[in-house]
Amino acid sequence: MASIGHVALLVRYPVKSMAGEILPEASLAIPGLAGDRMYAFRSSSAPPGMRYLAGQERREMLRYMPGTDRNGVISVTAPSGETFAVDSPLLIENFRHYISERSDFRLVQSSTPQTDVRPLSLISLKTIEKLSTELGHPLDHRRFRSNIVLDLSNEAFAEDHLEGKRIQIGSEATLRVLERDPRCRFITYDPDSPHTEEPLFAIMKLLDKQHQGRAGVYARVETPGIVHSGDLVDLLEE
């Protein structure tokens, strides 16, 4: 077992497509990070092939800030400054005002994370820094919506070389890194001002041209456990 870095950030997304919340610690279970994407909203405007929201709706949804209290109750602060329970009909009314008057929104709750592909996504700080340099534009980690941001001791894109391997985080949890993460248009949206800043399509062009359209990796949990920001990341021998 060899240490390859540590956890820089743990991020949970209580409501799919909304902003994330940074955690000091998190519980990793077989389905993924506890409390991640337990809620989602479906829209009547979502085109075929998109399960939840239309593209512009996803962009606007980033302006909503979920929060989880010590009892696990989720509330959402809207762009208006108002705070609603996640299951409040008033939140949906707020969507109609700030997102779309023509769409019908419906809350979907699940006992397991409503992820699109794999249970967990990871990316390293050096990869984000490298992409920022290549692009000539600073990139915030929030664009990549990863659950675990790693500070790895090797070069940028070192997480790519973990594909198929097992890592341990802290004293308990182990993960199997499955594949590189193919990126979608969501990363073009500015996390601070998605409604006013134009999408950064140059990042998609850069990834397609130089990195096979990928940044970061997907993983699954093999051994559940509690992980903390700052925990060591170890590469396990097979």
Question: What are the pLDDT digits (tens) for 107-152?
Answer: 999 999 998 888 999 999 999 999 999 999 999 999 999 999 999 9
Q: What pTM did the predictor assign?
A: 0.94
Domain boundary assignment for the chain: 1-32+116-238, 39-109
Percent of the chain with pLDDT over 70: 100
Q: Say if residues 31 and 220 touch (Cβ distance below 8 Å).
A: no
Over the stretch 24-67, which tens digit does the pLDDT of each residue have? 999 999 999 999 999 999 999 988 877 899 889 999 999 999 99
Quote the radius of gyration of the chain (alpha carbons, Å). Answer: 18
Q: Say if residues 61 and 53 touch (Cβ distance below 8 Å).
A: yes
Give the pLDDT confidence score for residue 80 in this predicted structure. Answer: 92
Over the stretch 73-95, which tens digit does the pLDDT of each residue have? 999 999 999 999 999 999 999 99
**In CATH terms, is domain 1-32+116-238 a member of 2.40.33.20?**
yes
Give the pLDDT confidence score for residue 76 in this predicted structure. Answer: 98
Give the pLDDT confidence score for residue 47 in this predicted structure. Answer: 87
Question: Is the pLDDT assigned to residue 209 strictly greater than 80?
Answer: yes
Confidence of residue 158 (pLDDT cuts 50, 70, 90): very high
Question: What are phi and psi for residue 215, nearest 5 degrees?
Answer: -155, 125
Amino acid letter for position 222:
E
